[in-house]
Amino acid sequence: PESRSPIQFGKAEVLGNPSSDDRSSTVAIVALGSMVSEAWRAAGPLNEMGVRATAGNARFIKPFDIETISKVAQECGAMITVE
C-alpha cells in the first residue's frame, strides 16, 4: 500500500484490497512480519478471479489485537492467516 498509518503498539492494521474499491470483501488474508507483503500480493489475483479479498497486518502476537482481527473476520466471513 502506498500510504501507511503510524504503528500503534498492540493494534493491527487493515490494509484493504489492492483493487481499491469500496465493495465488501469475502475473505481476509492476515499476516505478520515479512509475510504481510505476500498477503497483499495474494489479494490482487484473488480479486481478479472475483474473490473479494482484503489484506491485514496483525503486527503483534503479544498483545494480539483480537478486536480488530475479529471485526475483519466477521465482516469478511472467511479468514486466511499467513505465518
* Tens digit of each residue's pLDDT (9 = 90 or more) over 15-33: 877 665 556 778 999 999 9
- Is residue 8 predicted with pLDDT exceeding 90? no
Residues 6+ apart with CB under 8 A from 50: none
pTM value is 0.80
Residue 17, φ and ψ in degrees, nearest 5: -120, 150
Q: Which residue has the higher pLDDT, 24 or 12?
A: 12
Q: Which residue has the higher pLDDT, 65 or 23?
A: 65
